[in-house]
Structure 1
């Protein structure tokens, strides 16, 4: 069993989504410290962060590759883009130009 990633509290909900993605791809895993935030103050906060663990050590590389793909997709979505029709600069999370309605390519 190996730890794949530690999440901050802000990323905590993302841990559940990644766990679902890994399980959908046949990788057995679990989230450690999922609810340990209630002990914060009694336990150092960095010890309370959620951690994603992979049961089968042979699946760790495959799980890391899936996680890298998700991270790359998130980075691409967050990049600003310019509408080719009207020239409007839009934030990355927009899939369509709010000015002219053209879909992001």
Structure 2
């Protein structure tokens, strides 16, 4: 297991974890419970996102960099049911609930 991102807090860790999961990477959060003790513990207590397959580490780091820059390379799409135009980050149509093709 290789850690690819150190989050500022548990909420940030969950967001990045979900983002990487949406790309099909198997990731886990380590150290999320130590965050509450920061300042009182003599160690790094920030949550870390780790890939479970070492071969995914490079791809995960690239995706994290894109996420930090606010970029998402997934193309926009048009809902086949209602015609609504959606950002590539959406997996379902916000208007009618249809799934992305």
The TM-score, its normalising length taken from structure 1, stands at 0.59
1:16 to 11, 14, 17: 14
Stretches of structure 2 that go unaligned for 5 or more consecutive residues are 72-101
Q: Which has the higher helix share?
A: 1
Stretches of structure 1 that go unaligned for 5 or more consecutive residues are 75-105
User: Cα distance, 1:36 vs. partner?
Assistant: 1.3
Correspondences of 1:73-88 after superposition (within 5 Å):
73=70
In the TM superposition, structure 1's runs of 4+ consecutive aligned residues that sit over 2 Å from their partners are: 37-43
Number of aligned residues: 71
The range that moved more, 30-39 or 14-23, is: 30-39
Answer with 1 or 2: which has the greater Rg: 1
Match of 2:5 in 1: 5
Question: Counterparts of 1:71 and 1:13 in 2: how far apart (Å)?
Answer: 15
RMSD of aligned C-alpha atoms?
1.8
Question: Counterparts of 1:40 and 1:24 in 2: how far apart (Å)?
Answer: 30
